[in-house]
A and B are shown apart, each in its own frame.
Chain A
Amino acid sequence: MNPEVLSLARRAFLTRITSGFAGVALTQLLADDFLAGQLAAAEPAWTPGKPQFAPKAKQVLQIFCPGAASHIDLWDYKPELEKRDGQPLPGEENLVSFQGKNGPLMKSPWPFMQAGQSGKHISSMLPYMAEHVDDIAFIHSMTSRTNTHGPGCVFMNTCFTREGFPTAGAWVSYALGSLNQNLPTFIAMQDVRGEPPNGKANWGNGFLPAQFQGVSMAAQQPLRNLARPEGISAEEDEATRAFLHQMNSEHAEQHPGESELRARVAAYEMAARMQLTAPGVADLKSETAHTHAAYGTGDRNPLKAAYARNCLLARRFLEQGVRYVSLYCASRASGVDGLLNWDAHRTLKADYERHLPIFDQPTAALLGDLKQRGMLNDVLVIWTTEFGRMPTKQAVTLGRDHNPDGFTCWMAGAGVKGGTSYGATDEFGRRSVEKVSSAYDFYATVLHLLGLNHEKLTYYNNGANRRLTDVHGQVLREILA
């Protein structure tokens, strides 16, 4: 069948999708008469709710460090930068970047150390993460289309610099549907310090139907409107729902053939199940003291303890079958200092001596926990940030300016070849020069691991069959296990 006609058919179908969640799939409930029948006739390349080919991964855990976490101070070892500390950047002596002029090269304030069987060089400020390098595939040749945080975060989540496009988590929810019946499909966990740059555009559904949006939930922030209102007893609540159900059932009886009405009834039932389940999942008390200690939930540093609680909660969400979890470590740009996120313009050393300890132990504990429980067989872990930082010192500061021309992201877990490093920046970390890649390739790979062809996962909007990867992207095959 002509793919365009097919896409038109799919579009027609999708505008009628009334099953829903903003998380929870009703597809199962309605599959027989509503979904399957719709698409069977069109012989689609894929059916919503199912991968297109055998997947390596079923779930995604995204860890996002907003503020542009510096590749050359965390993951990308540059001995030449160390050697030429204080010298001008060859060929770009008068470099003007986001905030203005740049000074000479500045080495990382901390030495790098080798770790794991792979002997990967990693910052000595990441002693816990060092234990996991053999599980990680580093992509050192990332590039971005913008040098600005908001558009950069949005680009790293949607492959577009403008808000209004669906995020990767929304695309995956749309493509694969839910794995559970009582929690959202896509959960976005914000840092205790607040939302990342451009806020909700980082987990929005864009033009996809609203049920595919990421739902905000974190240890410090319960699901909105979940709790039974104060002053209403459980019995009254229950009785009201029962009465409502009766009214709606009678209404539906008078309107045979209207599947939307059945979907409404199902949505209310699912909301009730969420109410029952979500608080239990969010309650960390059932975890052992050992687990708490491993994550650092009781750390003296309240920011680290808060992030650690979210790491632990992320694991519990994944255990419950949440399809896509986005976990943020830090928040927006304050424009003044590096307290809120990784945006170290002025005093990189002091700023990162705040951020790295917050990030290191809890993240490593989460990876270790997933591995030990065998969950890395199903869970793809991706680490992202909006862009990198300059190898030079920003003029009259001890910090680094934004660098969209080269940075690092990584993947680990299901289907990923651990202990690998893909692509490279130049000797200083200024630009990607080897196997230059981007968010397009990154997400082409993520989708591939989920059993989806990034060129075939489309949704019609305003004149185009839109894709997560726009019109770009190649699967990074070298990092596949």
Chain B
Amino acid sequence: MKTQIILVCLMITSVLFSLISFVHKCYSFHDILYLYKDKIPLEVEALLSNDLGVPLLLARLLHNKLLQISVDVYSILLHYFDPFFVSTVVGLLGLICFGLGWWYILGNFRRYGLISLPFLVSITYEIFFHRSLMSGHIYFLAFSYVLISLFGGWQFARFHQSIKVIICFLILFVISILWSYFLPSELYRFCIQR
């Protein structure tokens, strides 16, 4: 239990370091993080323009709005799992714990699936209803990332209680702080900044 508390304290400190900067600076997201429905017909049109000489039926089968929406949603969804986006929200240590969190959630979804619910709700709203949301959505999204990260860290600490693990976490903690401090922020890639 002692190890768990130490690890979680390290993690919370590291997560807070990035989180404060994220929620303070990020006002809203760029287009890449939500579905812009008006763009879909234009994208299909652009793709079709290269299909000169291709039978219309085939061209329509391969380039249509349904396929394009699925491709776009998939791409946007992956942005929310991009290591640089996640590390912008919860830091490097948080990113590793975020990965661990999903590992434990997917490993036993019936038991831990509920923990991923805020995350799933949050990104669903971000992707589809971003524009109609109020300014608090960034906080809710950040909370869902923190929740999964903390869960991942907590579970890992539960099963690996040793001095080696504490040392590893400590090293990662230091790297995480240095990462946030020294490297140029990736925030501009995802956020409209305040």
- The answer to whether A and B belong to the same complex is no
